[in-house]
Structure formats: C-alpha cells, structure tokens
Amino acid sequence: MNDKMVFRTALETWGADAQTLMVFEEISELQKELCKYARGRSNIEEIAEEIADVQIMLEQMIILHKCEKAVEEYRRSKIERLKIRLGISD
C-alpha cells in the first residue's frame, strides 16, 4: 500500500473532522518543539518527528480538499518569488 492509500484510509477511518483537528494538534506540537529549540534546548530529533507528523497530516489535507495540483502550483510560484527576493537565478 503506497503512502497516498494509507492517507486515504486514515481519512476514511477517522473522518475529515477528526483529521482536520489532528492537523492543528500536530502543528501545535511542532511549534512547541521549535520554541524549546529557540530557548536553547537541543531537541533536533523531536523537531524532526513533529515535522514528519505535520507533513503526513498536510498530505491528508491535500487529499481531503482535492487540491494537489493547486498546492503544487502555489508552491512553485512561491519558491520562484523567494528566489527573486534572494537574488537567485537558475
């Protein structure tokens, strides 16, 4: 079973509302770990784990809202804008 199938199964199992709330929780946990790091704690493993959790939940939100193409287009556009702001050329 590929990742997208796992994400779809999670959405079917727990439902859109529960998984949407889980996004908020996972983002909050990442925020907490980043705050700890900013205060001087060496918690890179915890940060990495929370980033993975957030990425998994975001993938589920892309599936739920059927916006994969739009997300990719916005991502490309925003990366190009960032490159311009940084003075980076291809």
- How confident is the model over 18-44, as a mean pLDDT? 98
The whole-number average pLDDT for the span 50-59 is 98
In 3D, which of 75, 26, 19 has the Cα closest to residue 52?
A: 26
Is 1 or 71 the better-scoring residue by pLDDT?
71
Question: Given this model, what pLDDT does residue 83 score?
Answer: 97
- Segment 1-21 shows an average pLDDT of 97
The pLDDT confidence band at residue 90, using thresholds 50, 70 and 90, is confident
> What's the DSSP call for residue 66?
T
> Contact at 8 Å (CB) between 53 and 30?
yes
Residue listed under structure tokens 């490159």 = 83
